[in-house]
Structure 1
Amino acid sequence: MEQQEKDWLIELLDITEKELTPKQAKIVQAAIEVFSEKGFAAASTNEIAKRAGVAEGTIFRHYKTKKDLLISIVLPVIYKFAVPFLAEKFLNEIFQKENLDTMDGLLRKLIKNRYEFVKNNVPLIKILLQEIAYHSEIQETFKQVFVEKVMPRYKMAVEHFRKTENLAAFPAETMLRLTISTILGFLVTRFIILPDYTWDDEKEIEYTIQFIRNGLKGND
């Protein structure tokens, strides 16, 4: 197994906090590869089983349906992607460390943190992006994580920076939408749409920060 493939599985195990049997780990690994390459609809449990080196019936001993296997992979990824705003350590750094005591500092830490996650887990992100439009379970989890968990913490950060910076009078929800869509656009373009382009990643991160910051700046 190549190192990048190991990273996917390690991330998934870390997300789910479940101990998988060796055969189940092989099934999950194979499913990630096949779903990423072909999409859920075109993937077959027979192909997943062959790639995992197990009998097809073994899959159904662990997962009732192919969709159950997909959901077991995708839903935890949503939580993992949102981890920075769910982690107390991350929020404490926003409010306490000098280098994060600006909106730029928050954006820089957030983008670099998620850059590394996406870089190490491209197949998982591809599956999430491919399937979110077709499965209500994925949509509901995405909405729950960002509305109930990320939004309140982002509002805290916005109110914190309103006291010291000239931010636009946009609702916090609008600021989060603009921030997430820009960061996702950068990461998806960088790692999925144009992964082989000669990007200068450090410059692109700074350009992204500048773009978001200027968009959120209030009128002088």
Structure 2
Amino acid sequence: MSDTVEAWIEELLKSDGAGAKMTEKQARIVQSAIEVFAEKGYAASSTSEIAQRAGVAEGTIFRHYKTKKDLLFAIVAPAMTKLLAPFVLRGFHKVLDTEYESYDQVLRAMIENRIEFLRKHRNILKILLQEIPFHPEMQERFQRDVLGLVLERLRKLVAKFQDKGQMAELPSSTVVRLSVSAIMGYVAVRTVYGEREDAVWDDDFEREETIRFVMRGLGLA
């Protein structure tokens, strides 16, 4: 098991979904599940492998979680509602509460902020990216508890630029959707491909081209 425990995992291991303190075995099960789900994806993971990595019998997992999916949601649900959303907003405050002279400065700050966030919380973000498309319940929770909060703040920021006459009169929600889609696409490819040792990846070039792409699409460049 990794010696480096992400901050949100430390918080998650303090208690189970009902607020009771986790036993040592339960904490090992959860942390092992996080690692296996992040490495292999939910569908390709097995409870026997999780149990082996945690150093417990497979039956011990099912004493705490009825199914593998229950184990996944025991990780994802509290991570999004209690940990991920506050971490996202706390980091995003630095971007959203700063005064910018132009929208490209906002985009650049968002990219830098998200990359730093990704470095600190790689496993949970990897699990979310892999599993959200396949679990409607997870999609609903993410949209409500994380994405909705961030998008509302971004819409207000866009509206400020529009009020100053510095941005095209598109619906603010459209501007946010186009911006976030481009940025998350860049961050996702950078994470999956750009950090590989054999990758041909000029990060400064890719970052600036992403920003220019958004600015041209919005008629600002």
TM-score by length of 2: 0.78
For 1:12 and 1:141, the matched residues in 2 are separated by 19
* Aligned partners of 1:36 and 1:123 also within 8 Å: yes
Structure 2 counterpart of 1:164? 164
* Deviation string, structure 1 residues 147-188 (Cα, Å, up to 9, x no partner): 642332222111112133531222122122211211111111
- Once the two structures are overlaid, the 10-residue window that deviates more, 24-33 or 201-210, is 201-210
Equivalent in the alignment of 2:111: 111
C-alpha deviation, 1:13, in angstroms: 3.5
Equivalent residue, structure 2, for 1:6: 5
Report the number of matched residues.
213
Distance 1:16 1:106 in 2: 35
Please name the residue that 1:38 is paired with: 40
Structural RMSD (CA): 3.0
Structure 2 counterparts to residues 1-220 of structure 1, below 5 A: 1-3=1-3, 5-7=4-6, 10-14=7-11, 18=15, 20-76=22-78, 78=80, 86-87=89-90, 90-91=92-93, 94-95=96-97, 97-98=98-99, 100-145=100-145, 148-164=148-164, 166-196=166-196, 197-217=199-219
> In the alignment, is the contact (CA less than 8 A) between 1:122 and 1:191 conserved in 2?
no
Hey, what's the Cα distance between the residues in 2 that align with 1:21 and 1:198? 45
Contact 2:80 2:146 in 1 (8 A): no
% same residue:
44
Q: Deviations over 1:21-53 (max 9, x none)?
A: 433332122112222233222322111011111
Amino acid at match of 2:115: Y
CA shift for structure 1 position 127:
2.0
- Structure 2 unpaired stretches of 5+: 16-20
The C-alpha deviation readout for 1:48-84, integer Å capped at 9, x for no partner, is 0111111223323333321121123234555666657
Cα pair 2:92 2:113 within 8 Å, conserved:
no
Check the 8 A contact 2:96/2:157 in 1, yes or no: yes
Q: Is the 8 A contact 2:162 2:169 kept in 1?
A: no
* CA–CA separation in structure 2 for the residues paired with 1:104 and 1:189: 20
What one-letter code is carried by the residue in structure 2 that aligns with 1:11?
W
Q: Answer yes or no: is the 8 Å Cα contact 1:34–1:48 preserved in 2.
A: yes
Shift of 1:211: 2.2
Which stretch of structure 1 is more off in the superposition, 198-207 or 113-122? Answer: 198-207
**Matched AA of 1:172:** S
- Normalising by structure 1, what TM-score? 0.78
Partner AA of 1:210 in structure 2: R
